[in-house]
């Protein structure tokens, strides 16, 4: 017996007739197709087959016409946005528009190939981009195409056969003790609390310093609680590349941490707090000083010095180097810096640990005693 919505009817001649939408005219008028059979079940089976075939054909047409730009923007908006922090999304958005879309955007999704992607990666290498940046760009492409496979837009991920440049070990720059003293002399001349002193004696990142409030410092217990960071991200809705300031959780789950507050830094901060007009430790006209303001002030201060070319992040590296020189264990340092693992700390500051390793080898070597040839 025919069911409602099936469009299967018994004809006067005893046969069964099934009707389906065959196509539509440019004005969206429906053109029907028909199938026939001696039994109801026979017609129903034919209709199921035809409808399934239409869906497969329609999906193939959509996939073949879809450009990679259309797909990756959809993926970024519907998948990535819900699973990553705003700063990560902004970084993906920036790399997408700067490096990916100009080269791969107009390519049809189904025509993405390993050869095309290898040429794309080789082009990034030719631009002298850092290997870490190239790998991040490729990761974005790889993840988007994995999702395309998952959604059955393409049969396989062409990224699987692409060769990437070797990941170069990061070059860590830090100030010598002498350079640090000179910089501190400049910082101590500031009337307000100096972000330079904070960075050199806490190891905090510039965004964390920007978001630090006096209420985050427990002077009684001697602790700094890091649970806020200030970032400037791309405003994707702007047509003139505007940015917006956001306050969020620190870089990773490990970055939300508690830093011990040493006595000298505590005394310095207490003195500055007494005259501070703001809730923020580092402020600009009473409000928070965003990272680029802090960086601008820093660059202006060191403009005429011997270390005028350094970045603010060097102060964090300098803090870590001083800790290692003073014999701080790697686990404690990793927690203070907010690294996700001690391996990251070891990999980052391997060269800083060389002198310590040499001292350890001397201590071990002292145990070696050449046996006497005569008893």
What is the reported pLDDT for 61? 47
Distance CA 147, CA 257 (A): 34
Distance CA 191, CA 70 (A): 53
CATH architecture of residue range(s) 68-161? Orthogonal Bundle (1.10)
Pairing of strands 223-226, 257-260: antiparallel
Which parts of the chain have pLDDT scores under 70?
1-5, 24-28, 52-65, 169-170, 236-241, 251-254, 350-357, 360, 369-375
Which superfamily does 177-359 belong to?
A: Intergrase catalytic core (1.10.443.10)
Distance CA 346, CA 360 (A): 16
- Sorted by where each begins, the domain ranges of the chain are 8-65, 68-161, 177-359
H helices present in 151-243, as ranges: 177-188, 195-202, 206-211
pTM of the model: 0.70
pLDDT, tens digit, for every residue of 41-70?
888 888 877 776 665 555 544 555 688 998
What is the reported pLDDT for 41? 86
Of 197, 205, 195, the closest CA to residue 338 belongs to 205
What is the reported pLDDT for 372? 59
Distance CA 233, CA 228 (A): 16
pLDDT, tens digit, for every residue of 207-250?
999 999 999 999 999 999 999 999 988 776 554 557 888 888 77
Distance CA 359, CA 350 (A): 15
């Amino acid at each position: 017996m025919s069911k409602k919505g099936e469009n299967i009817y018994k004809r006067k001649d005893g046969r069964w007739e099934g009707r389906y939408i065959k196509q539509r005219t440019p004005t969206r008028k429906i053109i029907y197709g028909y199938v026939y059979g001696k039994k109801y079940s026979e017609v129903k089976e034919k209709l199921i087959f035809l409808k399934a075939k239409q869906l497969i054909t329609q999906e193939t047409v959509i996939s073949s016409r879809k450009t990679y730009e259309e797909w990756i923007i959809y993926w970024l908006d519907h998948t990535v946005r819900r699973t990553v922090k705003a700063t990560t999304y902004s970084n993906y958005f920036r790399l997408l528009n700067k490096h990916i879309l100009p080269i791969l955007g107009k390519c049809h999704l189904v025509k993405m190939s390993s050869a095309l992607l290898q040429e794309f990666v080789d082009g990034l290498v030719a631009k002298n981009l850092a290997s870490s940046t190239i790998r991040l760009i490729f990761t974005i492409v790889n993840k988007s195409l994995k999702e395309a496979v998952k959604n059955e837009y393409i049969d396989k991920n062409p990224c699987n056969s692409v060769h990437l440049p070797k990941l170069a070990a990061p070059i860590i720059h830090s100030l010598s003790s002498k350079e640090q003293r000179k910089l501190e002399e400049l910082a101590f001349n500031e009337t307000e609390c100096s972000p330079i002193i904070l960075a050199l004696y806490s190891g905090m990142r510039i965004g964390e310093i920007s978001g630090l409030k006096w209420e985050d410092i427990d002077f009684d217990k001697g602790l700094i609680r890091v649970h806020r960071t200030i970032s400037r991200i791309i405003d994707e809705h702007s047509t003139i590349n505007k940015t917006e300031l956001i306050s969020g959780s620190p870089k990773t789950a490990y970055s939300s941490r508690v830093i011990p507050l040493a006595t000298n830094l505590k005394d310095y901060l207490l003195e500055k707090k007494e005259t501070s007009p703001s809730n923020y430790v580092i402020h600009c006209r009473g409000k928070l000083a965003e990272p680029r303001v802090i960086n601008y002030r820093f660059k202006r201060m060191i403009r005429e010095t011997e270390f005028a070319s350094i970045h603010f992040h060097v102060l964090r590296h300098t803090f870590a180097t001083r800790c290692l020189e003073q014999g701080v264990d790697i686990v404690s340092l990793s927690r203070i810096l907010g690294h996700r693992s001690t391996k990251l700390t070891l990999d980052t500051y391997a060269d800083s640990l060389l002198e310590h390793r040499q001292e350890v080898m001397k201590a071990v070597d002292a145990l070696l005693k050449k046996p006497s040839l005569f008893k």
